[in-house]
């Protein structure tokens, strides 16, 4: 933490302690450059980050880059089919090796002096150098990587927290979706003027949905109060839930107990990741404008009524998957008040655009809903920048997950400072 | 002053003390980021700022925003006709409430979760929140505001200096101009690459006018020396002054003693504001290209010969008002080396564009003159950035008001540090 | 060094000490803002900087500006034919005096208040100021300047290192090229996203040439190993060297002993400057696409076979001059990770574009070669920004001059801190 001196660390520690429960964060959390640098170390360089989908790199030699706060990581499928993550930095003079955002390579050849590495990062050739050099000490620096049911996660930490429990939670729920046999229908990239936490705060409540997401609320129950739903809604929810349970059972799947308005995260129990199925509103088999299926069934599904598969992991990932398509959201901080957001739409690997699905029809629902949120987050950033901004109270009915997110955030920051 | 540690404060204090009288300011004053932050607190968040004209918000519910260094202030006319100033930040999650720069609202409804406030900032509705919340504690944060003869001033200070003497000085002189019954003919916004002080330094002397303002000097006497005018000019000035006194008397107004080349500011006597009438050159009844009237008479005027009404207040406002139109200039710092400048042209409220005035004819004189200055200030900023820049001597004949401005600035900064 | 406190100075000193010989520099050298500020003082405001060619200002009153890190320097030829360097900042209020990048003036007249200076910077007129001012104390601040055989060097240091040895080294080698009788064929300006040191590191080795500079390696021997050349190449080099020696002797010039793969710089012997002639490949009389002459012979040359005249001085200059044209490269830091680069193509003063040379044919070779390097440097900057970047080993055969450059850099920085 060379970017903070002792008195700054005390100030940061006091700031973390001063957070008032059930209220937002103070202005400094969105405004202080050195606090942001601590976040990068405490959270973003410690945790597991969703990088992309396995189906983006189906064959040996296929790679894509994930650029994270000044670092460029190569995610490549090796000859043995395993995925490897390598820093995109030559061990000779620090040159960026892969200049394209994605592609396919037999070997990595640095464009500066042609040092050549294999798919695992091992240095093969360094023509022009003295013989005495020990090539084994000059492999590309690796990052940690895990592939689970078609989702690739990396960690920049030397010793990240264990990933096995995440895999255990994600794999059985995600498996029927068939992510690994899917194909990319569309990738959209956004750079929004908002601190990354505001994007999560927005994601962790549907209090704002009624007015801001006219499309989304037709398909979902999230905007109703957690523990105070009116009888008519409770009945409707009960009906779709029973129906979904039956449908899933017929396809060999189970609806897990916590289905519905999932509480997430659960920092006191170390739950920074979760996967579940959520019932849609009556008449909606897919998160689309009219609720109708817009592409062929994915994965193992034999019936479109599978609800929505939702997976999330902090600090950078969530996905909504319907029977026929999925939409992943990947966040990456890009400075104190900017966040890069990538959205990835997948469909079944055999689906053909124009024949099996119309791209616009596929995109509209989530493109609209997401862009409504990106606009909110950008406006909110300008508001919390104000000297007059003070943290307000959170709704106990509708913002309990936001409160959980903030608890998780404070807990992670304190844990790091305590080290 | 959390942005400065103890040793930085000592350095700043020494820097303020080191200013050589009758010379410009040293390079650091235009170049040091933390000094700029102190200025924001010592001057801009302490003083009274011109926000705009009353006629921009004639009716209840009309509002406009004034964005000042990260803060957005809503200036709104309430149902009782009074003007209120509120921070444009929801008390719930810090969202920007008014997204448009101006408009009309029945109530303020936050676009994020629809918290609803009345024109005075009182929280009316917060659907979705627990009943236990005390709404009376969640009004929009207010700023201080005063309306005087059609000019609106705000202060972001908790306890600003008293405004009554300002009103006493401005009201009688400004009243006949009828600002409150006027209408906006044009608003122009500039963002220039210059520290805000350089803009004032430019404003406080007319040594530069001869060559740089060929239009302005035809209409005005400012470019002549204060105490060393040649007999021919002194005679001409005496003639127009007597003539103006007679004309004003006939309209029930008096030309105040200090009329002419006014000395402003007067920091030793606490005068950071001033209002007076200044005679124009012979044949000029309006600050226009040919000196002719270009729009109907404003306010109470019955004769075009009223000279120029000039009002100024530090740190952000001056206005030149002829018989037929007025041009306000509002400065707002936008970082160390940028200043946002708004110019507002007013004409009589009943005047109709195209019938009673031609917009281009109305704008030309001050648009030319102002843009000549903005260009100078931007060039000067590049010059004072140089390592070779050293403060030079000021002219005792022509830059005495610049010297007064610098004394005022140093005085305000020291007063703040002394607290 | 007000921008560094005591503990930062210790950290910097340790950083300089920690450099591992025969390896690149650590990440901080390309990433730390305050280290960059020290470099500006220790190297850029101490050393001699190539500003431009004499033939850009052939006549009295001709001037051009050199903008260096916030400072603007006027390089002007005076009435006595001597070149003077003056800071482009009025002694009155700090205004930029010359607004155009180049031009011709009888006197310098500040556009703000018309203070007027002669070509030597002496204040002549200051109308509007009190008589008591001592004009002799208000000359434009001067910079040091030296003109040698058509090349102009300046220094912003109060007491720069002596320039006489540089002149002694450059003049005899450069004289026959006739730079002072030349004319500008083209100036190209680049702003590349790269720290200035990376540009030098690239310049100081030709290990990267084989793949990156297909045009350059046809004309030159640089890409072969310094001390390990295969017999076929050694033979070819020997042949062109003997041939060049004979040709030069016939023109009254000598090929100096160190001709060939010059070792530069030589920090242990204070050599931050060097000039020599290098033989071209067989069949190349000019650094052009096909090796043929593309413009009339320059200067005193009577035979096109003069090899390539190469001159370099740290921290900002190198030139390649063939028999018929020369290409100067001038570097200027523009922040931590940007470098402004000016390239100047000269031809003989009597040559007429379209008649004696085709501009595109003249430019292609070096424009291609240079832009290949600018692209490399920009990519490398992104790589060394990575948290995973660690300095790698340098080639003892091919990067010995890079190693010398880094030693020079560390030596200069330490010398400054030691003061």
**Interval B23-34: pLDDT, tens:** 999 999 999 999
| C24/A96 Cβ within 8 A | no
pLDDT above 90 for B343: yes
Percent of chain A whose predicted confidence (pLDDT) is above 70: 97
* Phi, then psi, of C223 in degrees rounded to 5: -80, -10
Per-residue tokens: C10 = 């210790």
**C-alpha–C-alpha distance, residues B264 and B274, integer Å:** 7
Which residues in C lie closer than 8 A to residue A45 (C-beta atoms)?
Answer: 387
Select the residue from B393, B401, B406 to test the C interface by mutation, using most C Cβ atoms within 10 A.
Answer: B393
Asked if B50 and B312 count as a contact pair (C-beta separation under 8 A), the reply is: no
pLDDT above 90 for B255: no
pLDDT above 90 for B410: yes
pLDDT above 90 for B227: no
Task: Nearest by CB to A383, from B95, B113, B129: name it.
Answer: B95
Measured between CA atoms, how close is B222 to chain A, in angstroms?
40
Whole-number mean pLDDT of chain A?
A: 95
At residue B91, the pLDDT reads: 98
Confidence label for A381 from pLDDT (cuts 50, 70 and 90): very high
Residue C304 CA: distances (Å) to CA of A337, C295, C320, C321: 60, 10, 15, 12
| B376/C94 Cβ within 8 A | no
Confidence label for A3 from pLDDT (cuts 50, 70 and 90): low
Put simply, the chain C residues between 188 and 247 with a CB less than 8 A from any chain A CB are: 201, 207-208, 210-212, 225
Measured between CA atoms, how close is B392 to chain A, in angstroms?
37
Q: If you average pLDDT over residues B165-188, what whole number do you get?
A: 97
At residue C234, the pLDDT reads: 86
Q: If you average pLDDT over residues B110-138, what whole number do you get?
A: 96
- Identify the closest residue of chain A to B92 by CA–CA distance: A392
Q: How many CB pairs lie under 8 A apart between chains B and C?
A: 78
| B129/A379 Cβ within 8 A | no
At residue C1, the pLDDT reads: 43
Q: How many CB pairs lie under 8 A apart between chains A and C?
A: 78
Written as tens digits, the pLDDT of chain C (419 aa) is 455 778 888 999 999 999 999 999 999 999 999 999 999 999 999 999 999 999 999 999 999 999 999 999 999 999 999 999 999 999 999 999 999 999 999 999 999 999 999 999 999 999 999 999 999 999 999 999 999 999 999 999 999 999 999 999 999 999 999 999 999 999 999 999 999 999 999 999 999 999 999 999 999 998 887 665 788 888 888 899 899 999 999 998 877 645 445 789 999 999 999 999 999 999 999 999 999 999 999 999 999 999 999 999 999 999 999 999 999 999 999 999 999 999 999 999 999 999 999 999 999 999 999 999 999 999 999 999 999 999 999 999 899 999 999 999 999 999 999 87
The answer, for B130 touching chain A at a CB cutoff of 8 Å, is yes
pLDDT above 90 for A5: no
**C-alpha–C-alpha distance, residues A290 and C41, integer Å:** 66
Rounded to the nearest angstrom, the gap between the alpha carbon of residue C292 and the centroid of all alpha carbons in its chain is 26
Contacting chains of B (3 CB pairs or more, <8 Å) are A, C
**C-alpha–C-alpha distance, residues A284 and A322, integer Å:** 10
* Phi, then psi, of C380 in degrees rounded to 5: -65, -40
Asked if B52 and A347 count as a contact pair (C-beta separation under 8 A), the reply is: no
What is the rounded (10 degree) CA torsion for B53, B54, B55, B57?
110
At residue B259, the pLDDT reads: 43
Task: Nearest by CB to A392, from B72, B91, B111: name it.
Answer: B91
Confidence label for B122 from pLDDT (cuts 50, 70 and 90): very high
- Residue C97 has a CB neighbour count (10 Å cut-off) of 24
- Identify the closest residue of chain A to C380 by CA–CA distance: A95
- Identify the closest residue of chain C to A40 by CA–CA distance: C387
Select the residue from C12, C386, C390 to test the A interface by mutation, using most A Cβ atoms within 10 A.
Answer: C386
**C-alpha–C-alpha distance, residues B318 and B170, integer Å:** 12
Put simply, the chain B residues between 45 and 64 with a CB less than 8 A from any chain C CB are: none
The answer, for C92 touching chain B at a CB cutoff of 8 Å, is yes
Measured between CA atoms, how close is C30 to chain B, in angstroms?
23
pLDDT above 70 for A64: yes
At residue A225, the pLDDT reads: 75
pLDDT above 90 for A42: yes
- Identify the closest residue of chain C to A139 by CA–CA distance: C392
**C-alpha–C-alpha distance, residues C291 and A155, integer Å:** 53
| A382/B111 Cβ within 8 A | no
| A395/B129 Cβ within 8 A | yes
The answer, for B72 touching chain A at a CB cutoff of 8 Å, is yes
Asked if B314 and B197 count as a contact pair (C-beta separation under 8 A), the reply is: no
Contacting chains of C (3 CB pairs or more, <8 Å) are A, B
Measured between CA atoms, how close is C294 to chain A, in angstroms?
30
Task: Nearest by CB to A387, from B70, B92, B130: name it.
Answer: B70
At residue B228, the pLDDT reads: 58
Asked if C182 and C346 count as a contact pair (C-beta separation under 8 A), the reply is: yes
Measured between CA atoms, how close is A270 to chain C, in angstroms?
28
At residue A384, the pLDDT reads: 98
| A392/B138 Cβ within 8 A | yes
Which residues in C lie closer than 8 A to residue B379 (C-beta atoms)?
Answer: 95-96, 99, 111-112
Measured between CA atoms, how close is C89 to chain B, in angstroms?
5
| B207/C128 Cβ within 8 A | yes
**C-alpha–C-alpha distance, residues C127 and C298, integer Å:** 48
Q: If you average pLDDT over residues B253-277, what whole number do you get?
A: 83
Tens of pLDDT, residue by residue over B3-23, are 577 888 899 999 999 999 999
| A70/C392 Cβ within 8 A | no
| A95/C380 Cβ within 8 A | yes
At residue C45, the pLDDT reads: 97
Tens of pLDDT, residue by residue over A228-265, are 578 888 888 889 999 999 999 999 887 764 544 578 99
| Nearest partner of B176 among B275, B83, B270, judged by Cα | B275
Higher pLDDT, A41 or C9: A41
**C-alpha–C-alpha distance, residues A282 and A395, integer Å:** 27
Q: What string of H, E and C letters represents the secondary structure of chain A?
A: CCCCCHHHHHHHHHHHHCCCCCECCCHHHHCCHHHHHHHHHHHHCCCEEEEEEHHHCCCCCEEEEEEECCEEEEEEECCCCCEEEEECECCCCCCECCCCCEEECCCEECCCCCCEECCCCCEEECCCCCCCCCHHHCCCCEEEEEEECCEEEEECCCCCCCCHHHHHHHHHHHHHHCHHHEEEEEEEEEEECCCHHHHHHHHCCCCCHHHHCCCHHHHCCCCCCCCCCCHHHHHHHHHHHHHHHHHHHHCCCCCCCCCCCCCCCEHHHCECEEEEEECCCCCCCCCCCCCCCCCCCCCCCCCCCCCEEEEEECCCEEEEECCCCEEEEEEEECCCCCEEEEEEEEEECCCCECCCECHHHHHHHHHHHHHHHHHHHHHHHHHHCCCCCCCCECCCCCCHHHHHHHHHHHHHHHHHHHC
The answer, for B398 touching chain C at a CB cutoff of 8 Å, is yes
DSSP label of C271 = B
Measured between CA atoms, how close is B290 to chain C, in angstroms?
25
* Phi, then psi, of B310 in degrees rounded to 5: -125, 130
Confidence label for B1 from pLDDT (cuts 50, 70 and 90): very low
- Identify the closest residue of chain C to B201 by CA–CA distance: C93
Which residues in C lie closer than 8 A to residue B389 (C-beta atoms)?
Answer: 89, 94
| Nearest partner of A393 among A20, A26, A17, A22, judged by Cα | A22
Could you list the beta-strand ranges (E) of C193-338. Answer: 273-278, 308-313, 317-321, 326-333
Q: If you average pLDDT over residues B372-393, what whole number do you get?
A: 97
Q: If you average pLDDT over residues A302-314, what whole number do you get?
A: 96
Measured between CA atoms, how close is B214 to chain C, in angstroms?
13
Which residues in B lie closer than 8 A to residue A395 (C-beta atoms)?
Answer: 128-130
At residue A7, the pLDDT reads: 83
Per-residue tokens: B249 = 């008397």
At residue C107, the pLDDT reads: 98
At residue B233, the pLDDT reads: 87
The residues, any chain, with a CB within 8 Å of residue B341's CB and separated by 6 or more, are B189, B190, B191, B192, B199, B329, B330, B331, B332, B370, B374
Measured between CA atoms, how close is A74 to chain C, in angstroms?
12
Select the residue from C389, C399, C403, C406 to test the A interface by mutation, using most A Cβ atoms within 10 A.
Answer: C389
Measured between CA atoms, how close is A381 to chain C, in angstroms?
27
């Amino acid at each position: 933490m060379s970017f903070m001196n002792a008195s700054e660390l005390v100030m940061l520690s006091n700031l973390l302690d001063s957070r008032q429960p059930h209220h937002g964060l103070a202005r400094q959390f969105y405004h202080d450059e050195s606090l942001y640098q601590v976040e990068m170390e405490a959270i973003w360089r410690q945790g597991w980050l969703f990088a992309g989908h396995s189906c983006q790199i189906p064959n040996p030699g296929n790679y894509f880059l994930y650029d994270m706060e000044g670092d460029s990581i190569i995610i490549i499928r090796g000859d043995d089919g395993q995925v490897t993550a390598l820093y995109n930095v030559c061990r000779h003079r620090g040159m960026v090796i892969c200049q394209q955002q994605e592609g396919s390579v037999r070997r990595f050849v640095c464009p500066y002096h042609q040092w050549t590495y294999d798919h695992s990062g091992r240095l093969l050739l360094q023509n022009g150098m003295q013989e005495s050099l020990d090539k084994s000490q000059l492999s590309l620096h690796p990052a940690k990587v895990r592939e689970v049911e078609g989702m690739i996660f990396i960690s920049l930490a030397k010793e990240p927290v264990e990933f096995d429990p995440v895999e255990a939670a994600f794999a059985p729920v995600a498996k029927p979706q068939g992510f690994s046999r899917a194909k990319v229908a569309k990738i959209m990239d956004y750079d929004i003027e908002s601190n990354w936490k505001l994007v999560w705060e927005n994601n962790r409540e549907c209090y704002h949905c009624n007015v801001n997401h006219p499309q989304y609320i037709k398909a979902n129950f999230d905007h109703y109060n957690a523990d105070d739903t009116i009888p008519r809604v409770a009945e409707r929810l009960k009906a779709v839930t029973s129906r979904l349970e039956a449908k899933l059972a017929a396809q060999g799947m189970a609806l897990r107990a916590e289905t519905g308005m999932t509480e997430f995260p659960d920092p006191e129990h170390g739950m920074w990741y979760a996967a579940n199925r959520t019932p849609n509103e009556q008449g909606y088999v897919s998160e689309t404008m009219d609720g109708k299926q817009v592409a062929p069934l994915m994965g193992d599904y034999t019936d479109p009524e599978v609800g929505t598969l939702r997976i999330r992991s902090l600090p950078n990932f969530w996905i909504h998957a319907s029977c026929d398509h999925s939409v992943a959201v990947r966040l990456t901080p890009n400075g104190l008040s900017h966040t890069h957001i990538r959205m990835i739409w997948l469909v079944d690997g055999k689906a053909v655009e124009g024949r099996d699905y119309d791209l616009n029809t596929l995109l509209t629902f989530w493109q609209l809903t997401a862009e409504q949120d990106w606009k909110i987050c950008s406006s909110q950033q300008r508001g919390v920048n104000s000297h007059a901004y003070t943290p307000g109270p959170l709704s106990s009915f509708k913002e309990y997950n936001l409160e959980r997110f903030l608890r998780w955030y404070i807990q992670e920051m304190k844990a790091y400072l305590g080290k």
